[in-house]
Structure 1
Amino acid sequence: MSANESITTTELSNAKVVVRLLRLAWNYRGWCAAMLVLQAVLMGLAVTLVQVGGLTIDVIRFHAGSSALPPSLPLGFVFPVAWAPMQQVISLVVAMIVIAILRAILNYAYALTSGTLVQRKIVVDLRAAVYAKLQRLSLRFYSDQPVGTIINRVTGDVQATRMFIDGVLVQLSILAMSLIVYLTFMLRIHIGLTIACLMTTPVIWGISIRFSQTVRPMYDRTRQLFDDLVLRIAESSDGVAVIKTLGRQSAETERFHRANDAVQSQQQDVFAKVSNFGPLIGFLTQVNLVILLIYGGYLTSIGTLALGTGLIVYAGLLQQFSNQVGNLSGLAGSIQQSLTGARRVFEVLDANEEVKAPLDPWKPDRIRGDIDLHGVWFEYQPGTTVLKDISLHIRAGERIAILGAVGQGKSTLLSLIPRFFDPQCGIVEVDGVDVRQWDLKTLRRSVGLVLQEPLLLSNTIGANIAFGVPGASREQVRMAARLAVAHDFIMDLPDGYDTMLGEFGMSLSGGQRQRLALARAILTDPAILLLDDPVSAIDPETEHEIMTAMETASAGRTTFIVAHRLSTLRGSDRVLVIDEGAIVQEGTHAELVRQEGPYRAVAQSQGIEVTK
């Protein structure tokens, strides 16, 4: 694979990934700010709720005679003189209920904001960006990347990436804000008690950093193993007919179990690390509570610290502080998951596009279909030449057949015309203009492509034919189907053009799928038609139908036909014989069968009479 589009897991350091993630988060700064504001208000209400609860206890103790001094209300407020003790207590309880209701409403608003940001903004936008980039990458990229890896990057890795915004960045901000708020109130209550209760905090931070470094490679390995699992599923689904035919169901099931067990084992290792980390952090935070009860209880007993607004409020604040510190276990895991997923997503987004659109593209109103190749050399991997010094001139409307053994470069030659690849050396021209100067959309819409195994979508027959021209009328679709000799069999189906096709159109025969693909190509009215071995896997009777369709479709168009059956090539204006990436013979069918060479040998092997 070209270095331009290679993907490695070492290109992006954690620092670079974090910078990219921060840039991504900046795009959603309004939503993040709204979440932080809601959390700040919730935090203030939580502190207020704890304080009111402590105040209520002090009011009860004062009126019960357990305290000599009346508790002071915040902000200088005082109870009305006429209020009885029970009225004072009830007013505080009502205030607590109101605060609790406000917190519930704001928690709902926070959950709604977070859900909207994650599922309707970040995931949708990022997944669309990754998919759009995948559409721009050349076929070379797909030849090197397993399908499981591609699927996983668009799905699971995107989810892991968005986790950095809502599960890491926002949560870290909330954590920092919480620690500052709770620490400030705790220091206001008693500085010495705060220092004593937080002695374990540096230890917790050190353990968290060490844990994060340990699990990072484990999460990388988990994503790789999950790629393999998705690949197993994709391969077995696509090849189910072969698997059943060869009786390999048990073997494939065993392969899947091994891949699944590898993922499970890796996840268990990660879970074991997280499970050990969480209780350890929890234990250290509970040590703080023990210190509070011993030292804080002593301060309360000697009258230095009030019970309600002092010890009880402090206990509530310390518990909130400890909960935030305890979140480090989940936060550390989220950081590593998001960094692993983000690295894989950014590697796709950063992959250089091998085939780039020109700055000032050539976009003609009319295309004739003249094609010239000048000294074209091409290789997929350095040192492995696929095409060698190919030079050709094809007139507009000419029909060219290509013959050659498997792997000799026939399909590669065709792929250079719509510029799926660029040659390492040489020039490919359409209508006298280098394809690298063409507007890519204009060029490719001028080329109709029918593959050996055509792609049909899970949609109606009419929608499949109109795939390249979504706004085509039904009459235009019918006309294209008639030219492809597909109209009659379509009308024999229960719902005609509205018949729904299953995945890949497997409910149709090979010949029917080919004719639909040909109709789809015809509908775009291409000046150039590329037929890549469209009759290799069908029977002779169906071949006759396809040939009839191709004769009609190729009329007036520059046409390339790749085939192994000479019966498919006989009506061509010229036949090119390719061997080891080079053109070794060129001429009409009648000329080539009279010459000694590969073409004559193939004709004899297929029982075609040859003359000298």
Structure 2
Amino acid sequence: MLALQAILMGLAVTLVQVGGLAIDVIRFHAGSTTTLPTLPLEFTFPVSWSPMKQVVSLVVAMIVIAILRAALNYAYAITSGTLVQRKIVVDLRAKVYAKLQRLSLRFYNDQPAGTIINRVTGDVQATRMFIDGVLVQLSILAMSLVVYLTFMLRIHVGLTIACLITTPMIWWISIRFSRTVRPMYDRTRQLLDDLVLRVAESSDGVAVIKSLGRQEAEIKRFHQANDAVENQQQEVFTKVSRFGPLVGFLTQVNLVILLIYGGYLTSIGVLPLGTGLIVYAGLLQQFSNQVGNLSGLAGSIQESLTGARRVFEVLDASEEVSPPASPWTPDRVQGEIDLHSVWFEYQTGQPVLKDISIHIRPGERIAILGAVGQGKSTLLSLIPRFFDPQCGIVEVDGVDVRQWDLKTLRRSVGLVLQEPLLLSNTIGANIAFGVPGATREQVRMAARLAAAHDFIEESPDGYDTMLGEFGMSLSGGQRQRLALARAILTDPAILLLDDPVSAIDPETEHEIMCAMETASAGRTTLIVAHRLSTLRGADRVLVMEGGSIVQEGTHSELVRQTGPYRLVAQSQGIEVTN
């Protein structure tokens, strides 16, 4: 690309020089001068050529150069578009998305959804602008200024110094402008994040918005966010609009100096008209145009730098959960789990888990009871190593999970969340999401174990029925059973169930509990639950308060002890006796 630009600049200079040469030839034959101008590379016109033929040959040369420049400009546009749009943007977007998949859940907890979406879309385009509109253009600008300045100095040093007297002022103004607008572009990106987040939230919560009759209020909130973006962009536009004409005015001052001083030098015979003043005017105009591009380039630098910085924040973000240098991959996973004096905190000084020590035997079923915010889900997330504890060790089959091959560890753990994620795809594809190569019979078997086969067969296209976004066309119980089938299909040694029946009616709860009973057979199972109907079937129950385990035992043992478990049992109408 830069090589093409160098050739294009060389052709531009040559075109101007040939034009000036043509003017001097015409003046010679018109009798205005007594010396025939020298052709490039010491060439001379053949003696037999008439004045008209000499001028026509120069005009033809100008036309050929112009055609060649047009062809090279086309080649440059194609090369630039292919490199930037088809390679850099596509590859960079893929790299950002791939890095997002590797980052820990802590990153997602700290970043709003609108910000993440904007980094993959708008910020990648801003990075493209930084590469194409800043780095490439700055290289072209530097090259252009060197080329044009060299030729201008060759024509007349004093005239060049006089004509470029405003250039230092332009650079100073540009630096001041950049420092002023940089925070404004940062603020614009933040407001765009808020706008995208507003759309995402209202789209996900449309049922709640409609049920509460809040459409007008949400429209008003969107307009406020949209107006904030508009006002911020208008403020930036005002700054840029003032900067551009000021730079343009200063570059035109150079032309005034050229006409006064250059005209004087031509009038006293120091500077030729065509190859001197006219060529110099063309070079100065090109030089001034490049300097004038600073007005747009300075704004592009700050706008694109903001987006590029946000993209590279993702690419350079440390992977909190990184794979070990020599990962351990067992032939078979037993499902034994040990936590040794585990402490974990999302924010420094605010522990969510405090000195947790548990031993869970292979195939054991453990229920976890506790109020909201007591660390239950965090405890589960440490087993597949979504986070690493600040203190203590989490082991699976006697090996620290930090030494496990991450893919092997996570494929050995089946996870069913309170709000299962279903994709906009067929039912069969959703079940086989973790095992893309699964046969239809394997998918059916997993669905049967999860008590999902019957309602799937009743769907319009069975396992080929397309689900809408997040599977909202299904009931809560149906979504949970599909999520359970998806977890079962991976044949995990460990099954983690994060309160999967909290929002389910009693009849559906019974169906899901039966399905979970079947699915958990022979697997180490941890289930977060609040209903005693779920807790009764556990081999052991862990009761958590304030990030610590305050009670441990079977249902029959705990219900007879004074403590949180007994209070929960009484609140659900269970008669307890000492």
With structure 2 as the length reference, what TM-score do the two structures score?
0.95
Query: What does 1:333-348 correspond to in 2, within 5 Å?
Result: 333-348=299-314
* Alpha-carbon separation, structure 1, partners of 2:527 and 2:172: 68
In 1, Cα distance between equivalents of 2:173 and 2:349: 51
Question: 3-state SS of the aligned residue for 2:319?
Answer: coil
Q: Which secondary structure does the structure 2 equivalent of 1:564 belong to?
A: coil
**What pairs up with 1:55-454 in 2 under 5 angstroms?**
55-454=21-420
Q: Secondary structure at the match of 2:367?
A: strand
Equivalent AA in structure 2 for residue 478 of structure 1: R
Deviation per CA, 1:304-344: give whole Å up to 9, x if none.
33322222221111110100110111222222223333333
- Whole-angstrom CA distance in 1 between matches of 2:488 and 2:332: 17
3-state SS, counterpart of residue 276 of structure 2: helix
Choose the corresponding residue for 2:537, options 558, 568, 571: 571
Partner of 1:391, secondary structure, is strand
TM-superposition CA deviations, 1:127-175 (whole Å, max 9, x none): 3333333222222222122222222233333333343332222222211
3-state secondary structure, aligned to 1:392? strand
- Which AA in structure 1 matches 2:184? M
Alpha-carbon distance, 1:255 to partner: 2.1
Q: For 1:269 and 1:372, how far apart are their aligned partners in 2?
A: 58
Following superposition, the deviation at residue 220 of structure 1 comes to: 2.1
Separation in 2, partners of 1:267, 1:140: 32
Residues in 1 aligned to 2:535 and 2:165: alpha-carbon distance in whole angstroms: 85
Report the secondary structure of 1:426's partner residue: strand
Aligned partner letter, 2:330: P
Give 3-state SS (helix, strand or coil) of 2:425's partner.
Answer: coil
Which deviations, in whole Å up to 9, do the C-alpha atoms of 1:191-236 show, x marking residues without a partner?
2322221111121112112212222222222222222222222222
Select which of 39, 50, 63 maps to 2:5: 39
Moved more, 367-376 or 60-69: 60-69
Secondary structure at 1:536 match in 2: coil
How far apart are 1:506 and its partner, in Å? 1.2
Number of residue equivalences: 578
Matched residues in 2 for 1:185 and 1:421: separation?
Answer: 62
Q: Secondary structure at the match of 1:419?
A: coil
What is the DSSP-based 3-state SS (H/G/I as helix, E as strand, rest coil) of the residue aligned with 1:402? Answer: strand
- How far off its partner does 1:257 sit? 2.1
Q: Deviations over 1:4-38 (max 9, x none)?
A: xxxxxxxxxxxxxxxxxxxxxxxxxxxxxxx1100
Give every structure 1 segment of 4 or more consecutive aligned residues whose post-TM-superposition deviation is greater than 6 Å: none
Give 3-state SS (helix, strand or coil) of 1:83's partner.
coil
Q: Paired residue for 1:520, among 478, 486, 489?
A: 486
**3-state SS in 1 of match to 2:333:** coil
Superposed CA RMSD in Å reads: 2.0
**5+ unaligned residues in a row in structure 2: which ranges?**
none
Counterparts of 2:397 and 2:197 in 1: how far apart (Å)?
Answer: 42
- Give the residue type in structure 1 aligned to 2:167: T
Q: CA deviation at 1:86?
A: 3.2
Structure 1 equivalent of residue 423 of structure 2: 457
**Cα separation, 2, equivalents of 1:73 and 1:53:** 12
Structure 2: how far apart are the matches of 1:193 and 1:580?
Answer: 80
599 and 331 in structure 1: CA distance in 2 versus 1, 3 angstrom threshold: same
Unaligned runs of 5+ in 1: 1-34
Q: SS state of the match for residue 471, structure 1?
A: coil
* Secondary structure of the corresponding residue to residue 496 of structure 2: strand
SS of 1:149's equivalent?
helix
Q: Secondary structure at the match of 1:531?
A: strand
Q: Distance in 1 between matches of 2:400 and 2:162?
A: 76
- Residues in 1 aligned to 2:339 and 2:49: alpha-carbon distance in whole angstroms: 100
Match of 2:521 in 1: 555
Residue 556 of structure 1: CA displacement?
1.0
Between 1:324-333 and 1:594-603, the stretch displaced more is 594-603
What CA distance in whole angstroms lies between the structure 2 residues aligned with 1:544 and 1:579? 28
Report the secondary structure of 1:488's partner residue: helix
- In 1, the alpha carbon distance for the partners of 2:550 and 2:263 equals 97
In structure 1, the residue corresponding to 2:530 is in which secondary structure?
Answer: coil
Query: C-alpha displacement at 1:463, in angstroms?
Result: 1.8
Name the counterpart of 2:550.
584
The answer on 1:497 being equivalent to 2:463 is yes
Determine the C-alpha separation between the residues in 2 that align with 1:506 and 1:408: 29
SS at match of 1:228: helix
Deviates more, 1:224-233 or 1:549-558: 224-233
Using the alignment, how far apart are the partners of 1:582 and 1:69 within structure 2? 100
Matching residue of 1:530: 496
1:610 Cα offset (Å): 4.2
Q: Secondary structure at the match of 1:418?
A: coil
C-alpha distance in 2 between matches for 1:200 and 1:386: 62
- In structure 2, the CA distance between the partners of 1:55 and 1:142, relative to structure 1 (3 Å rule), is same
Q: Percent identical across equivalent pairs?
A: 88
Q: Secondary structure at the match of 1:199?
A: coil
Q: Once the 2 structures are TM-superposed, how far is the Cα of residue 611 of structure 1 from its aligned partner?
A: 4.7
- Residues 46-55 or 240-249, more deviating: 240-249
- Give the 3-state SS of the residue equivalent to 1:397 in structure 2: coil
Cα distance in 2, alignment partners of residues 526 and 58 from structure 1: 88
| SS of match in other structure, 1:364 | coil
Q: What displacement does 1:367 show?
A: 0.3
In 2, Cα distance between the equivalents of 1:433 and 1:400?
A: 20
**In 2 relative to 1, CA 594–94 (structure 1 residues): closer, same or farther, beyond 3 Å?**
same
Which stretch shows the higher mean deviation, 81-90 or 522-531?
81-90
1:256 and 1:408 map into 2 onto residues whose CA distance is 35
CA–CA distance in 1 between the matches of 2:172 and 2:215?
A: 50
- C-alpha distance in structure 2 between counterparts of 1:544 and 1:49, whole Å: 86
Shift, 1:472, TM fit: 1.8
Residue 602 of structure 1 is matched in structure 2 by: 568
Q: Which residue does the alignment assign to 1:593?
A: 559
